[in-house]
Each structure stands twice: as C-alpha cells, then as structure tokens.
Amino acid sequence: MDRAVDQLLEARWVIPVEPHGVVLEHHAVALAGDSIAEVLPIAAARAKYTNALRVDLSEHALIPGLVNAHTHNPMTLMRGLADDLPLMTWLQQHIWPAEARVMGPEYVRDGIELAIAEMLRGGTTCCNENYFFPDVQAATYLRHGFRAVVGLPFIEFPSGWAKSRDEYFDKNLAVFDEFKGERLVSMTLAPHAPYTVADESFSRIRMLSDQLDLPVHIHVHETAQEVEDSKKQHGQRPLGRLHALGLVNDHLIAVHMTQLLDSEIESCAGAGASVVHCPESNLKLASGFCPAQKLRVAGVNLAIGTDGCASNNDLDMFSEMRTAALLAKGVASDASAFDAAFALQAGTLNGARALNLGERIGSIIAGKQADLTAVRLDALETQPIYHVISQLVYATGRQQVSDVWIAGARKVENGTLLGFDSAELRGKAQTWRERIANFG
Amino acid sequence: MDRAVDQLLEARWVIPVEPHGVVLEHHAVALAGDSIAEVLPIAAARAKYTNALRVDLSEHALIPGLVNAHTHNPMTLMRGLADDLPLMTWLQQHIWPAEARVMGPEYVRDGIELAIAEMLRGGTTCCNENYFFPDVQAATYLRHGFRAVVGLPFIEFPSGWAKSRDEYFDKNLAVFDEFKGERLVSMTLAPHAPYTVADESFSRIRMLSDQLDLPVHIHVHETAQEVEDSKKQHGQRPLGRLHALGLVNDHLIAVHMTQLLDSEIESCAGAGASVVHCPESNLKLASGFCPAQKLRVAGVNLAIGTDGCASNNDLDMFSEMRTAALLAKGVASDASAFDAAFALQAGTLNGARALNLGERIGSIIAGKQADLTAVRLDALETQPIYHVISQLVYATGRQQVSDVWIAGARKVENGTLLGFDSAELRGKAQTWRERIANFG
C-alpha cells in the first residue's frame, strides 16, 4: 500500500465475505485512496490512523458493494412496458419493436444513467452489462465513476450498432482497444445466445477470448424451448454445442441455465465456468427454475443478476439475493439450501469472480478496491437483530442502504445520491416514455 | 352517508380494485368520517365539497389498504431467530423452545406493536392474526386503531393461553363476547392445523362457526409430510377429513395449501372456501408450491399472507404480492398467469372477502370504510411509468408508501408513522432479543 490511509469507515458490523460467513463487530475498514488498506477493530484503527477522516457507521453493516452479474441497463427505460405476457409475445410484439424505434446512443446513455442512479441507491457498485453500443456504455459508466463490465455484443442480425457479422467484430474490437487499460471499465465478449449466433462467429469469439483473456457472457438454456429447438437444428443441446466449440471453460459466464442435466452441471463445474442466476426474471417470464443449489453443491461459481428492467422490473440486488435464496430452497425441497451467507457471497464475490474481477473486488480484504456498501440496520423492519447476515438477506430492503463507495469515492452519502440530478433523470425518463409508449 | 365529507384525498391515480383493473387519473376520494363517500374527478370534488380538507397526493397512487390474510404478529420479535434450517429442526429446536420461555401477554403485546408499526409503514391496514392470547391481541390492535381479525386459537396441547380443550373453548368464547361489536376488531375460530386438532374439537368449532357466523382460519396442506401423515393416521388427506367434518364451506380460510389435487381445488371452489397463499414462507421453509393460478382459474377466492416474521422475515405485502405473481407464473409455466391487477386484488379485496369483511373494506367504493394507502411513484426506482398497476406490483417497494388511513384516521403522514415512538419500539425489541436469544 503506497498511499496513506485517508478514510476510516467505522462500522457496527463488517461482513467481509472473505472469510465466508464472518461478522466482525465494531470494526473499521481503513481506505487508502481507491483501495482497502486494512480491516481492524475501531479502537486500534483510531490509534493507528490518527489523521484519517472518520465515517460513523454505528448502526450499519458494511458489506462489499453488490455485483449485478447480468443486466441490460439501457432497458431501464422500458421498465414495465409490457408485463404479464408470454415470452414471445413480449419480445416480438413489444420489446423488439420498441427497441427498433429508439435504439441509439442517446437511449443507451440515458437508460444507463437512470440505472446507475438506481443501482447506487440500492448498494450495487458493479454490473455486467449486455446491450448494444458498448462505446456509449463504457463512456457513460466512466463518466459516473461506476464500475462496469461492458459486453461486446454479437448477434447474427443487423442492429443500430452493426449491420453485418464483420462489422460487429470490427466495431467491437475497436471499442475494446479504445477502453483498454481503464481502471473502472473492463469488457466481455457477449454473443447473445446459442440460437442467435452461428458456429463461425462462436469460433472467432472463442479465439478472441483466449487471445485477449476476455470472459464470454451469454444467455444459455434460458427456456426448454431453446433446448428443444437446438436439438432439432443442431442435433445437440445448446450447452453441448458450446462445449464442442470449445466455449465451456473458465471464461464462460452462462446466464439463466434453467434447463440442466446433472451431467451438464458436472461439466460446468469441471470446466470452471460461472453461472449467473436471474431468479426474478426466470419466474416473471416463466422460463423455468435454475437448479441453483445443485450448481452450488457441484462447485460451480454461482453469481446473481437482475436481468433487465423490462423483465424484472428493477435492479434491486437485495431483492434478487433474497429471491435466489428462497427459490433455491423451494426448488431443492430443502430449507437449509442456499443459506444467507451463501446468498451474500453469490451477490458479491462470486459475481466478481465470474467477471474476472475476483482479485480486485467482491470482498473486504486488504489490497482490494474500496467498493463498499453501508446498510442501516436500525429500521423497525430489521428489528430485532439475531443474525446480521440473515437480516441482510431476508429482511433488509435496499432503501436501508445509506452510503456507497466505488474505488474509495463516495457515491451515496447518508442516503443522498451524489452526482445526479434526480429531477433531470425523471424528466428524461418521461421523455423516453412518450417516445416508447407510442410504439410499445 | 349521514356524515359530511371532511377530507378529499386528491390523487394522481386512484386504483379502486372494484371495478377490476381500473385506473382513475386525477381523481379524489371523498371521506366522510370513517367512510368513503364518493370517488370523483378532482375538479368536481373541489366544486362539490368546498369545506373539506384537501390532501395533495399529486405524485401518488391511492389504493385500498393492503390486507395481510395470514400472520403471527407476536413472532415479529423472533424475526431471523433461526433461518436456513429444515422445518422440524426450526420448529422443535428453535421456535417452540423460545416460545415456551417467553409466551405471555407482554410478549404478545410488544410483538404486535412492533408489527403494527411495520405494517402501517408498508401500507397494510388489516391483518388476520393467528396466535395465543387473543384478548391481548384484540386490546393491542384496538389501542392503536388498527383493523385486525383475531383468531381464537385451538390446539390439543397446553400453552400459556390454556391448559385443556375445555379451557381453550371457554376462554376463547369469553374473548369473543368481550370484543363483540367492536368496529375495528373481529374474530375467527383458529384451529391450528388438522394434525394438531382432534375431530371432537373440529365438530365443536364447526358448530360455533355456524352459530356465530365466524370464519375458520387454519393451516392446511402446508407440506407433503402433513398429507402423508394424515393418510396414515386418518385414512384420508387433511382436506378430505375437514370435508367429512363439514368444515369445507364458505367460512373456511385455508392457509398454505401447497399440496392440492385438482379435485380438491374444485371442491374448494364449489364450497366457496378461501385460500391464503403465503409464497415467501412456503419457499423459505421449502414447504412446496401452492398452485395459485389453478386456484384462481377454478374460481377460489385467493388471498395473500406474509405468515409470521420467523419464516418470512417481514410483513411486507408489496413484496408478497410480487412474489406471489412471479412464483405463480413460474409454477404455471405461463408468463401471463397471476397478472398484476389480480395480485393487487388478492392483496386487498380477496383478503377482505376471506375475512368476511368484503362488504366493509378491500376496495375504494362509496360506503366502504376508508382504509387507504397512498404510494409515491416519483421515486427513480419506479421511472418511467407505463402501467400504474404493473408498477405497483413489480417495481414498487413498501418504502414508497407515504400515507395511510384506517377508518378515515391518518396513521402515516407523508412518510411519518403517527402514534408510535420508534426508539421505544427498538428498545423493546432489543430487550426481547436478549431474553429470546439466550434460549434460541
């Protein structure tokens, strides 16, 4: 640690996530610039770091910033556009036509800004983005000092972003070059899904993933229909096809995975692939039930994502952790499955690991980036407190988030979102609503 | 309407629930004392009722107060005591021993007070209570002006409330007499469950239900084990046994119902019985999946409950409506199942109907009691707004509740809970935690 400790976050409880399940009482997290320098008892911290700014978190639990491992943030502007519809009606008659009308840099920028505000207010400090216009995405996240992993999109259809396979590759690689070396923004290769990407593209993506050390972020086995269609078209299940193409490896971020054979779970575990579970989206679109507890037991790195606001309809990682834990118990017929400490790990460290950021964020240990979320636990809704981690997962709402730091910079202070004009965000959202609703 | 209109609640949106699915824009709800006098456009209301107090709800949706159709509110003091445990370990090694130590009038009173505060802050105006010491329950709800339906408990075990079957009946009937005619508190007969109540008690309960026109509030088919045990012990499924005892009728409030044959669903529909769905508790305890959409389609009156805080871990009816809607879609494999407007009806009017209060509360129509909840929709988390009812069910958090009325009396005003000292509630919760944690 070269830089001096400049902030002491003095918390009633610190939950570092590493080691697993630990709750430290009356501990301080000492920050030096953008990094965590030390975690130690408050009294010792005050004696050691006499010049640091002290931040009083005496009613708070301090946790790693939440990592939303799958989202489509521009679609925040389509929150609730078309609910309670079958998947294909929803997509083909509402979402895609609306997107076709508004897709462009301004839409992506404004949607992401609204999303950043929502994520910060809810304690999320990093997201795994998946949409078009990755250049606009990256620039928007950087402008707001928000940590993001931006997907470079590949799909065998023309879009506002690119018109042909070659153009997707060319433009995406140019974006990768443009933002290489950024501290807060990194990239994934993001082929949309097995059913929308051809083998030839997958082969190029696999090669790029190896050469550039980039994760591959993809929707896989979202529905039973997808699996059946693949069997007809390719003679194998989507995961089998990806395996044959060399993509089932430790770069794979497989999202949804509601349809899994035990052999596929073993295969993912053996390959070191990550799975992103999006329980609320899977329920809302009636996609199926991800066998989350089985994946966990098999040793697969399991992260959590909200999916986009058109199918959730929020970016609330507290709610998503809770739903993941509850649903996993129901699906596994085991009330001890997917316990609270694991849910918190899935919403933080496992997300970081999936995004190839496991060495930098996701837990509160010395040397990692200071991405931190403070949660007030003195609300009546979280009284009394028997077990802090349980309370965070099963009883805490995101409105109890009081303070957020990304790379040591304060983004939310005592409940106030910094750096955004809420009235302006609302105004822009309403303007987009007028444009979208007329075609939705 | 004898009394003069004294309040005009002027809302951006009024969602009356009756008629189903309707959203009235820029409407006022005119209150006369404890009742709803009229629902009409704001301009017309101002012209007609010139002397009434105007309440500005210009960013708000005004909905009927939420009805929590199954809860054990004293257990709010055991929120998070023992999570992530198998049902029987949870009950036998944690909950029951803890209850045995603390059960008494003070515990019931203090737990309910904390629960009322939480319910009001979250927009709930009526609950269906199920616990011991119904006299203390009724007195506590009345003291705080909260509408409650108090269960008169029957179980074939001695408890702090009663030592023998006869004592349960005697004490419960005395409580019924004591509170008869109260405006805010009514009663149900509340045999715990088929597996803890004998046929002889059920026969007496059935007779009392007929004589006194009281609903029968009971846990039924919560788990597959319960059904299997009943088949072994009684040669029939619990619902079959209740049917034989004459209890499957329009007084029945059957809670949980995760294990249902199609014939049982038809039987409940034909009998006019109500089912209370507690999706989060069922998931958390891995009890099974209630076929909510099938029940709805069959015409069963389906209400929603949170269950107690030891198995949820909150009294959040917004979250519960959302989970009910999401889970029903997943279970039915149909994204159009259990739509938002139905979820809101289940959380209001259907709860009222189950509790035999369908003529008095549960919708915003002239002549009903003024139990109302105003929800701010200008939060960033609910922007933009395409469909108000969707937004309420799928994106709104209970923290957006700003104002609550019960029988015309303001209980929450612009986000501030009236009539409670939050510091005192926290202090009491912590005191109980000390007592309970030492034995939990």
DSSP secondary structure letters along B71-139 = E-GGGGGGTTSS-S--HHHIIIIIIHHHHHHH-SHHHHHHHHHHHHHHHHHTTEEEEEE-SS-HHHHHH
pLDDT at A19: 97
Q: Are A320 and A333 in contact (CB under 8 A)?
A: no
pLDDT, tens digit, for every residue of B119-131? 999 999 999 999 9
B425 vs A289: CB contact, 8 Å cut-off? Answer: no
Helices (H), A260-398: 262-271, 279-284, 292-298, 317-332, 340-346, 349-354, 388-394
Which one-letter DSSP state was computed for residue A91?
Answer: I
pLDDT, tens digit, for every residue of B128-147? 999 999 999 999 999 999 99
Task: Measure the CA–CA gap between B23 and B393, rounded to whole angstroms.
Answer: 14
- Residues of B within 8 A of A437 (CB-CB) are 386
- Which of B378, B380, B394 shows the shortest C-beta gap to A121? B380
> Is residue B383's pLDDT more than 80?
yes
Helices (H), B197-237: 199-212, 224-234
Superfamily of domain B66-354: Metal-dependent hydrolases (3.20.20.140)
A340 in contact with B, Cβ within 8 Å: yes
B385 vs A433: CB contact, 8 Å cut-off? Answer: yes
Total residues belonging to chain B: 440
The residues, any chain, with a CB within 8 Å of residue B89's CB and separated by 6 or more, are none
- Which of A313, A335, A337 shows the shortest C-beta gap to B394? A313
For A420, other C-beta atoms within 10 Å of its C-beta total: 18
A23 in contact with B, Cβ within 8 Å: no
Which one-letter DSSP state was computed for residue B194?
Answer: G
User: At how many degrees (to 10) do helices A134-143 and A165-179 cross?
Assistant: 20
pTM for the whole thing? Answer: 0.98
Q: Are B276 and B46 in contact (CB under 8 A)?
A: no
DSSP secondary structure letters along B390-404 = HHHHHT--GGGEEEE
Distance from CA of A203 to the nearest CA of B (A): 34
User: At how many degrees (to 10) do helices A105-121 and A422-437 cross?
Assistant: 130
Q: Which of B83, B225, B385 to probe by mutation at the A interface, max A CB count within 10 Å?
A: B83
pLDDT at B2: 52
ipTM: 0.97
Which one-letter DSSP state was computed for residue B177?
Answer: H
The residues, any chain, with a CB within 8 Å of residue A175's CB and separated by 6 or more, are A134, A135, A138, A150, A152, A187
Spatial CA neighbour of B237 closest among B254, B215, B216, B260: B260
Instruction: Grade residue A176 by pLDDT with cuts at 50, 70 and 90.
Output: very high
Residue of A nearest to B400 (CA): A399
- Residues of B within 8 A of A433 (CB-CB) are 384-386
B397 vs A398: CB contact, 8 Å cut-off? Answer: yes
Average pLDDT over residues B54-62: 98
- Residues of A within 8 A of B313 (CB-CB) are 390-391, 394-395
B425 vs A81: CB contact, 8 Å cut-off? Answer: no
Spatial CA neighbour of B199 closest among B236, B224, B163: B236
pLDDT at B438: 74
* CATH 2.30.40.10 is held by the domain B7-64+372-406: yes
Judged by DSSP in three states, B212 sits in: helix
- Which of B84, B118, B289 shows the shortest C-beta gap to A335? B84
Question: What is the gyration radius of the CA atoms in chain A, in angstroms?
Answer: 21
B383 vs A285: CB contact, 8 Å cut-off? Answer: no
A286 vs B83: CB contact, 8 Å cut-off? Answer: no
B79 vs A327: CB contact, 8 Å cut-off? Answer: no
- Residues of A within 8 A of B92 (CB-CB) are none
Average pLDDT over residues A274-283: 98
Enumerate the CATH 3.20.20.140 domain ranges in chain B, comma separated: 66-354
pLDDT at B439: 58
B316 in contact with A, Cβ within 8 Å: yes
Cβ-Cβ contacts under 8 Å between A and B: the total is: 193
The residues, any chain, with a CB within 8 Å of residue A232's CB and separated by 6 or more, are none
Q: What type of residue is B382? A: T
Residue of A nearest to B395 (CA): A313
Task: Measure the CA–CA gap between B199 and B411, rounded to whole angstroms.
Answer: 43
pLDDT, tens digit, for every residue of B281-334? 999 999 999 999 999 999 999 999 999 999 999 999 999 999 999 999 999 999
Tokens of B320: 């519960």
Task: Measure the CA–CA gap between A318 and A315, rounded to whole angstroms.
Answer: 9
B358 in contact with A, Cβ within 8 Å: no
Spatial CA neighbour of A400 closest among B314, B64, B58, B124: B314
B87 vs A335: CB contact, 8 Å cut-off? Answer: yes
pLDDT, tens digit, for every residue of A21-32? 999 999 999 999
Average pLDDT over residues A98-114: 95
CA A43 to chain centre: 35
pLDDT, tens digit, for every residue of A2-12? 579 999 999 99
- Residues of B within 8 A of A399 (CB-CB) are 397, 399
pLDDT, tens digit, for every residue of A341-382? 999 999 999 999 999 999 999 999 999 999 999 999 999 999
Q: Given the DSSP bridges, would you call strands A147-154 and A124-129 parallel, antiparallel or unpaired? A: parallel
B330 vs A288: CB contact, 8 Å cut-off? Answer: yes
**Count H helices, E strands: chain A?**
17, 16
> Is residue B393's pLDDT more than 50?
yes
- Which of A83, A283, A425 shows the shortest C-beta gap to B387? A83
Q: Are A43 and A389 in contact (CB under 8 A)?
A: no
Spatial CA neighbour of A435 closest among A204, A101, A175, A142: A101
Enumerate the CATH 2.30.40.10 domain ranges in chain B, comma separated: 7-64+372-406
> Is residue B440's pLDDT more than 60?
no
Task: Measure the CA–CA gap between B343 and B350, rounded to whole angstroms.
Answer: 10
pLDDT, tens digit, for every residue of A147-164? 999 999 999 999 999 999
Give backbone dihedrals phi and psi of B145, rounded to 5 degrees, phi first.
Answer: 65, 35
Q: Are B397 and B381 in contact (CB under 8 A)?
A: yes
**CA terminus-to-terminus distance, chain A:** 53
